[in-house]
Every structure is written in structure tokens, then in C-alpha cells.
Amino acid sequence: MSLLVVGSVALDSVETPFGNVKEALGGSAVYISTAASFFTAPIRLVGVVGGDFSKKHIEFLEERDIDLEGLQIIEKEKTFRWGGRYHYDLNSRDTLFTELNAFERFDPVIPLSYKKTAYVCLGNIDPVLQRQVLEQIQTPRLVLGDTMNYWIETKPKELTDTMKVMDVIVVNESEARLLTHEPNLIKAAKRIIAIGPKVVIIKKGEHGAILVTNDTIFSAPAYPLENIYDPTGAGDTFAGGFAGWLAKTDDLSSENLKRAVIYGSSLASFCVEQFSVDGLRDLTKLKIQDRYRSFMELSRFDER
């Protein structure tokens, strides 16, 4: 089934203890679309870049059959740039700079050909813009949304309004606690469900993710990797893998939501093994399937 992805398209400069990249392809919409492209088509991207956005990045997305009709190119502007530095403990990072550029006045216009998209994945943008996107789509089958501390702190009312129309929300541990003022993550998830989303996914970095609905609690480990080079985009890649699997199967049962969590986790594990989108560049469906099976082995045990 079709999947609409809205979010940032960026040039990221990232430093980790294991290396660095300058102005590499990034942004939530890029990670989400790329991850989802392993499962479903068409993927329709809505975002904005400046005239300096390289042709090779466009080709990277086109090669994955990502529809770019909704990618606005504003020639006189520069592309959104973000810089981050990770510490030895790759769970924490400092934002070095955020240059919004063309993204500052992002007006997500949904092309006519995108209006009947079945699955919608809203990357982390202003909740007012997320809402505007949904108003332009005709009765989507599933809406998945992401957010961040900045919106929770600066636009709590607008975020709550948008959450009412999300079916799935993906947040990390600190965002879940900030959103609900509840330290226990299961209670926090239930409070989020009371606001609107029927499915809450809380990402816990190297400790995996939990999925909570009214009748299910599912805990998935993170893949135990020995070499992690760059965690940038892991959360978005998880969301893209999760949404892509659901769009492919069009099955919203509890069992299939669990599979989607493991596919999301599998994709995220490849993402962090290299800088920028490189971990997803040469990935194949076979490698994803192998990792999915390794996940099954990781926490399989019997009764005795």
C-alpha cells in the first residue's frame, strides 16, 4: 500500500568517537522513506530543500523508487543543515548547530496525486504542520507520528490536538516522560493512549523498544552490535521500517504490530553500523530477513 512521508531533508555534519561526516544526506523524511522502501511502494515524500541540494542525493532517493513530486526545491534558499556530536556513550549527543534555511518556512503542500495515500508517516515537525498535512489527506488508513522534546515544551496544546488524530506515536523514553509527567514507561504509554494514539512505541536506544496498546505490551531488544558508528537517524529508520512493514502487509493485528517492531529494529540496526544513510545504501531484503531471524533467536526460550 502507499505510504506518505513528511519531514526534514537535511545535510548532516556528525562527529562520533569513531569518525565524522560533513554535509551528508540526512533528515527524518530521508531515513523514514529509505527504510520503508525495502517493504512497500509507492512511497511519497513531502519535504523541502534548497538549490544547493546535490543531484546525487536526488538520485539516491529516486533509485529507491521514492516519489519526489512533493519535494519542494527552493532555488534561492539553502538546504536545512544540522550538526551533532556524540560522546563515547553513543546514547547522548549535543546539537552543534541547526540551520533551518529553506525548512524555516516549510509549508507541506500535498500534491493531488498523494491525497489518497493509505499510510501516513509524520516525521518530527511542528505539530501544527503535521495537522495541516492530515487535513489534506483523504481518510488515511493509519497515521503514525513522531515528535521531540522541543515541541512537547513549546507547543503542548497543539501537540495534544495532533496526537488525537494519530493512530501510532513513536517517542523515546525522555519524550514519553516529559509528555506525561510519569516516570514509569508503561503508565506513561497508557496516559498517551488516553490522549489519542491507540499504539504507543517507546524507543529505549540500545535497550530496544516497547510497544503498548490497550491489550498488548511487547518488549523488543535492540540488536547487540559490536560496531556502532553513527546513531543518527536510528529512530527515524525504526519508524520507516515499522510503517513500511504495516503498509506492505496492511494488517494491523497485534501479532503483525510486533513483527513491524522487529522489522523497524532490524532496519535501525543496519542504519547505525555506518555514517549517514550508508548503512541502508547496499542493504538487501535478504540481509533484513536474516537479521529479523536473528532477532527471533535473541529472546527465544522455552518453558522448562
**Site residues (CB under 6 A) for ligand AMP?**
8, 10, 12, 26-28, 82, 98, 124, 232-236
In angstroms, give the least distance from the CB of 75 to ligand AMP: 21
Toward ligand AMP, which CB reaches closer, 34 or 124? 124
| Closest distance to ligand AMP from the beta carbon of 293 (Å) | 25
Give the count of alpha carbons within 13 A of 132, CB side only.
13
Q: Taking the C-alpha atoms of 174, 176, 178 and 183 in order, what is their torsion angle to the nearest 10 degrees?
A: -80
- 239 and 146 Cβ atoms separated by less than 8 Å: yes
Closest to ligand AMP by CB, 133 or 234: 234
| Dihedral in degrees, nearest 10, Cα atoms 141, 254, 203, 121 | -10
Instruction: List Cα–Cα distances, 286 to 159, 249, 289, 292, in angstroms.
Output: 38, 18, 5, 10
In the bound state with ligand AMP, the residue whose beta carbon lies nearer, of 23 and 41, is: 23
What is the number of the residue whose Cβ is closest to ligand AMP?
26
Our CB check for ligand AMP shows the closer of 232 and 265 to be 232
- Give the pairing of strands 10-16 and 3-6: unpaired
**C-alpha to C-alpha distances, 222 to 123, 126, 291, nearest whole angstrom:** 22, 29, 11
Cell, residue 240: 520507516
Residue 139 CB, shortest distance to ligand AMP, in Å, is: 27
User: Residue 206 Cβ, how far from ligand AMP at the closest point, in Å?
Assistant: 13
Q: Where are the alpha helices (DSSP H) in the chain?
A: 28-36, 55-63, 127-135, 149-154, 156-163, 173-180, 185-195, 234-249, 254-271, 278-281, 285-298
Task: In whole angstroms, give the CA distance from residue 278 to residue 283.
Answer: 9
- For ligand AMP, the closer CB: 217 or 225: 225
Q: Which is nearer to ligand AMP, 2 or 79 (CB)?
A: 79
Taking the complex as a whole, the smallest distance from the CB of residue 34 to ligand AMP amounts, in Å, to 11
Nearer to ligand AMP, 118 or 260 (CB): 260
Nearest-approach distance from CB 251 to ligand AMP, in angstroms: 26
Q: How far is the CB of 149 from ligand AMP (least distance, A)?
A: 10
